[in-house]
Amino acid sequence: GAVVSQHPSWVICKSGTSVKIECRSLDFQATTMFWYRQFPKQSLMLMATSNEGSKATYEQGVEKDKFLINHASLTLSTLTVTSAHPEDSSFYICSAERNTEAFFGQGTRLTVV
């Protein structure tokens, strides 16, 4: 199956700093990628759709200035959590579409202290 890689797998940062998470499709090109957030024992909540070469589209209630998304190439989308606070601590997961099937990255555990 297709491979989607996220980096880093986990990160701890201080409150007020920014953190960048990368999502790469390793063996296919993806014009569309998705970013999800997941709290412990809960389901995935879609945050935004990342579109190559254009602005991301955000789901209702997700602050676009807080969660900056850049999809600069057909194999890379980045999510930057700006001015992170403890309530931003969560598991962030990306996915990329290939032939209508979604392939997920392994996720990034963000802890803000």
Using CB under 8 A as the binding rule, whether residue 4 contacts other proteins is answered as: yes
Among 7, 68, 80, 97, binds other proteins (CB under 8 A): 97
The distance of Cα 61 from the centroid of its chain, to the nearest Å, equals: 16
The count of residues interacting with other proteins (CB under 8 A) is: 24
Among 77, 107, 110, 112, binds other proteins (CB under 8 A): 107
Q: Which residues, 6+ apart, have CB-to-CB distance to 28 below 8 Å?
A: 2, 96, 98
**Would you state the structure tokens that stand for residue 100, as one six-digit string?**
């209508």
Other C-beta atoms closer than 10 Å to the C-beta of 109 total: 14
Contacting residues toward other proteins, per CB under 8 A = 4, 6, 9, 32, 34, 41-46, 49, 91, 93, 95, 97, 100-102, 104-107, 109
